[in-house]
Structure 1
Amino acid sequence: MKSVELFAGAGGLAMGCEIAGFEHLAVVEWDKWACDTVRENQKRGYPLVEGWNLHEGDVRGFDWSSIPEGIELLAGGPPCQPFSIGGKHGAYDDRRDMFPATVEILRKLKPKAFIVENVKGLTRAAFANYYQYILLQLEFPELPRRASEEWHDHLSRLQTERTSGKRKGKGNTYNVVATLVNAADFGVPQKRERVFMVGFRDDLGVEWSFPEQTHSYDALLHSQWVTGEYWERHSLKMPPVPAKLQSRVSKLQNDFLPMEYAPWMTVRDAIADLPDPQTARSVTVSNHVFQGGARMYPGHTGSPYDLPAKTLKAGDHGVPGGENMLVKENGEVRYFTVRESARIQTFPDGFRFHGSWTETMRQLGNAVPVLLAQKVAASVAEKLAVAEILRLQKISKRVVRSA
């Protein structure tokens, strides 16, 4: 199945799509450092990225006529700064808003499906109307904004079109599902909330819902404080139950019910087998180098070992909340190494990051966890495969009847 990747960064979403069975005809990213990471892995022959047609530059400058119409998938995460909690919240007034460019490419390529990912901040009340506007543009890419039209006037026109239902079922609109998810609920060792906007061309007749949750916090607490399996697995003695968890753990102990989900994955699960970069005499693991300077102060705390990490962010020393730090068992803090951060983002160990610690942490903070991307893309690929089988069956029946 053919696909195109926009705003690829270091390739988290693109790699997840690749694992799910999509073949990228173009992978577009403007940032030199992120492109250097992909190029370095291509030179090494890393299989997931080796065949990518990487284009360093603005998506608006790419020759989209070189990509055939009707490919299976368009995927990408437009820059999140206009909507992120840490950004300036400019939304439609922010020149970095790449949703208009995304819709333009969707209109040109007419893919069978798309996956668009962005930050939770996009769903905030302050952006409610613009969020609806984005979703309606994705639903009706064939109705672009007019030259003299304000975005809210375009929104009204799209709302009218949607309620009329005139364009539905003709293959020029998309059935769009938007879902806010926590990556930890899907096996990623990180509490990372993101919104996924997934659409299927309406002539395909696809019925799709977001993949079901596979992991939970209660299952983690059960394995830690009821069965003790978590500590046994890590060859550790079970510590006392923290006071703030007593009532919740007691309820889990009294329920006597099997856990519906697997336990959330923790920082310890992700990095326990890596040597301590601060004390190891020599480190042979790529991108696993100690970075000094971490410190804790009010409002700037790191991630504990035995929970999923806080959301990794695109920064280093000045990241609010200390999300890029690990709280060691003695209470001290240190920065996550690049390799530890890559583990937390579920990048495979064979994939190496290029650039300084600051640059690589920025790449990782902007990335989609590979595992989450794979699960979403696999569910889309399955529906597209079924739709194609049904299409061929219909053709076969018509041929038989006409024979």
Structure 2
Amino acid sequence: MRAIELFAGAGGLGMGISKAGFRPARIVEWDRWCCDTIRENRRAKAGGIGRWPEPIEGDIREVDFRVDEGKIDLVSGGPPCQPFSLGGKHRAHADTRDMWPEAVRVVRETRPKAFVFENVKGLTRASFATYLAHIVHQLTYPELTHLPDEPWIDHMARLERHHTAGGGRDGLRYNVVYRVLNAANYGVPQRRERVVFVGFRADLGIEWNFPDETHSIDALLWEQVRSDEYWDRHKVASRDRALDPRLVARAEKLIEKPAPAPWRTVRDAIGDLPDPETALKQATVCLNHRFQPGARSYIGHTGSPLDEPAKTLKAGVHGVPGGENMLRRADGAVRYFSVRESARLQTFPDDYRFHGSWTECMRQLGNAVPVQLAEVVARNVSHELQTVAG
């Protein structure tokens, strides 16, 4: 099945979609460092992207997708999320970085069978509720475009009238659902919440819902507090164990072992890597695994405990460079995650190389979609499309 990947970043969403059986026909990304990352891994056939096309480096607004009309099964991407990030300035629709109109344009021009878009959880804030509804209505009726100089709120009113009138019978229409997903609930060793939009072309008659969660915090706490399976698996002595007392209290209320798999922790993800601070020579042998000095704990940025899923990796202007991207050991000491460790927390494969300085690589990773989360959603979408195709 053929796909188009927009706002590709370092390739996390596209890689997960490729692992689910889609083959990208076009990859579009404006950032040169991200494009360099994709190009090198494409040449090296790393991360399973050896068959990807050369990325189109540039402004999506200058790319014509009409040549792909009727040839694409899936359009995916993460429209730049700065207007909605909890760490940004919350300008939303007034922000020129809002690329949702371009995502809708690509859907309109290619008429794919389905699309998968993602964004930060901040988009679901109450203050953005009307614009969120505007996005959903645009994705539902992509042919009902803005009129010249029409304010977005007037466009919203037209979309609402069209929708309440029945939405038309012959135009391009998608059945759209969205949900905030926590990547930790799908086996990613990171508490990372993203809002995911999935739409199927209405004429396909597909009924769909988001895949069930497979992992849980209670299953992890059972193994850590009630059975000690977690500590035994990692060979951690009692004196080296450190858990939040609130989590211990929660675990003690559990009556039986939960059915889901346990949340994956930072230790699960990076425990077999050498410590880049204490094993400098060995660490440099690992790809993108160099020690970054300067980490310090301060209010609001205390790092990620070793025996919980990581806090959300961050990128952008909020906080000290690197922000929350630190490991907190059982003794309270902190250090920055290496690029390789961060890549593991985002479930990128170990042969995938990131281009740029530590800060630049962390920006790519902080903006990425966990590969595993993308694959879970895309496999579910792929199954539905293959079923309807017979």
| Distance in structure 1 (CA, Å) of the matches to 2:328 and 2:215 | 23
The answer (yes or no) to whether the contact 1:225–1:241 under 8 Å persists in 2 is no
- What is the CA-CA distance between 1:240 and the residue it aligns to? 7.5
- What is the CA-CA distance between 1:50 and the residue it aligns to? 1.7
| Distance in structure 1 (CA, Å) of the matches to 2:219 and 2:15 | 29
- What is the CA-CA distance between 1:67 and the residue it aligns to? 2.1
- What is the CA-CA distance between 1:23 and the residue it aligns to? 0.5
**Which aligned runs of 4 or more in structure 1 are off by greater than 3 angstroms?**
238-243, 315-322
Q: Give 1:289-368 correspondences, 5 Å limit.
A: 289-315=290-316, 318-319=319-320, 322-368=323-369
The answer (yes or no) to whether the contact 2:78–2:118 under 8 Å persists in 1 is yes
The letter of the residue matching 1:203 is D
The letter of the residue matching 1:248 is R
The answer (yes or no) to whether the contact 2:7–2:78 under 8 Å persists in 1 is yes
The letter of the residue matching 2:245 is A
Encode CA deviations 1:202-248: one digit per residue, 9 max, x unaligned.
00000000010001111110010011100011011344765333432
Question: Structure 1 144/120 Cα, relative in aligned 2: closer, same or farther at 3 Å?
Answer: same
Question: Which SS does the other structure have where 1:178 is aligned?
Answer: strand
Question: Structure 1 166/3 Cα, relative in aligned 2: closer, same or farther at 3 Å?
Answer: same
- Indicate the larger mover: 60-69 or 75-84: 60-69
The answer (yes or no) to whether the contact 2:266–2:309 under 8 Å persists in 1 is yes
Encode CA deviations 1:4-48: one digit per residue, 9 max, x unaligned.
000000000000000000010000000000000011112223262
- Corresponding position of 1:262: 261
The answer (yes or no) to whether the contact 1:17–1:373 under 8 Å persists in 2 is yes
Question: Which SS does the other structure have where 1:75 is aligned?
Answer: strand
- Corresponding position of 2:246: 244
Question: Which SS does the other structure have where 2:46 is aligned?
Answer: coil
- Indicate the larger mover: 203-212 or 143-152: 143-152
- Indicate the larger mover: 190-199 or 293-302: 293-302
| Distance in structure 2 (CA, Å) of the matches to 1:60 and 1:262 | 43
Encode CA deviations 1:315-367: one digit per residue, 9 max, x unaligned.
49944894201112321111000000000000000111111111100000000
| Distance in structure 1 (CA, Å) of the matches to 2:320 and 2:373 | 24
Question: Structure 1 5/91 Cα, relative in aligned 2: closer, same or farther at 3 Å?
Answer: same
Using structure 1 for the length normalisation, give the TM-score: 0.92
| Larger Rg, first or second structure (1 or 2) | 1
| % identical aligned pairs | 57
The letter of the residue matching 1:260 is A
- Corresponding position of 2:72: 71
- Corresponding position of 1:43: 43
- What is the CA-CA distance between 1:297 and the residue it aligns to? 1.6
Encode CA deviations 1:238-297: one digit per residue, 9 max, x unaligned.
447653334322211xx1x33121110000000000000001141211000000000112
- Corresponding position of 1:392: none
The answer (yes or no) to whether the contact 2:8–2:77 under 8 Å persists in 1 is yes
Say whether residues 1:127 and 2:128 are aligned partners. yes
- Corresponding position of 2:62: 61
The letter of the residue matching 1:36 is D
Structure 1 gaps, min length 5:
390-403
The answer (yes or no) to whether the contact 1:218–1:263 under 8 Å persists in 2 is yes
- Indicate the larger mover: 234-243 or 126-135: 234-243
